[in-house]
Structure 1
Amino acid sequence: MFNKILVVCVGNICRSPTGEHILKQLLPNKTVDSAGVAVEKSRLTGKAADAMATEVAAEHGISLESHQARQLTSDVCREYDLILVMESGHKEAVTNLAPEARSKTMLFGQWIGQQDIPDPYRQSREAFDHAYGLIEKAAQEWAKKL
């Protein structure tokens, strides 16, 4: 049913690429990609994943090396069966872009107490480790459901 999954955050350089690549590893028969709600506004289009996010992921056997940030658009939303957002507020951003995507948009942290996953961008190593732990736990729960 959910064969094409999109993971969404703000800049598509920390949380969503991490979630994308963990889900790809857990769900090898699914198509998993990522995008950000403010990639163009933040001038991040085509940028690599954040260096600290890349380092933390690599320590867990996940490579973000090939990642390039991309902007979420209504056309992108239409391509996917399930859209997983990192924070409750991102649901509104998705809905504003593509109102028809509302019903297929859920929290990445849905199965870990409907938890928002805080943005570690420009924060400490500990913030990245914390975000990674939440993303990994949430991804494992999603893998069980999908």
Structure 2
Amino acid sequence: MFERILIVCMGNVCRSPAAEYLFRARTDSPGVNFTSAGLCAPEGRPMDPTALELLADSGIDGTMHRARQLAPSMLHEADLILGMEKSHVDAMVRLVPETRGKVYLLDKWLDGNDIPDPYRQQRPAFEYVHEMIARDIESWRPYL
């Protein structure tokens, strides 16, 4: 059973916080703690407004989110780590090699694809990414 799940992207303002909040809302596993961080996060920055809007459309309030920079201690403490892109998975394993067995791509159970970064793009790009994340979360539910 996973108790601490960390979701990672680049800036921790679009994809990983959206996944964090969607996981929280859609997972029935009590005692599971979802957090997120970024490989190059602008510390303290709120979630992107379009990502917030899409969460709000699903009845989820993400306004409390603030970007966090990924630290090696976060990788050590997590039971499961999910990256948005293969390059994120590789970067985390390079940063802390002993985490190799618990770092996976969010899209692991479906197509094994990267989830593209919608940052600084129009709403349709965010909608596409939001749908991908929601689909991937559903694929992880049997394992949580």
Short-chain TM bin: over 0.9
The equivalent residue for 1:57 is: 55
Shift of 1:113: 1.1
Shift of 1:140: 1.1
- Which of 31, 37, 40 matches 1:38? 40
Q: Distance in 1 between matches of 2:45 and 2:36?
A: 13
The equivalent residue for 1:15 is: 15
CA contact (8 A) 1:15 1:119 kept: yes
CA contact (8 A) 1:73 1:97 kept: no
Shift of 1:61: 1.7
Shift of 1:99: 1.1
Q: Distance in 2 between matches of 1:37 and 1:115?
A: 19
1:8-48 CA-partner distances (Å, limit 9, x unpaired): 00000000000001111122511100000111xxxx10110
Gaps of 5+ in 2: none
Q: Distance in 1 between matches of 2:14 and 2:37?
A: 11
Gaps of 5+ in 1: none
- Which of 111, 114, 117 matches 1:116? 114
User: Paired residues, what number?
Assistant: 142
The runs of at least 4 aligned residues of structure 1 exceeding 2 Å deviation read none
1:54-112 CA-partner distances (Å, limit 9, x unpaired): 11111122221110100111111111000000000001110122111111000111122
User: One-letter code of the match for 2:11?
Assistant: G
Q: Which moved more, 1:7-16 or 1:52-61?
A: 52-61
Equivalent positions of 1:72-87 (< 5 A) are 72-87=70-85
Across the aligned residues of Structure 1 and Structure 2, the Cα RMSD in angstroms comes to: 1.0
Give the structure-1-normalised TM-score.
0.93
Identical aligned residues as a percent: 41
CA contact (8 A) 1:91 1:106 kept: yes
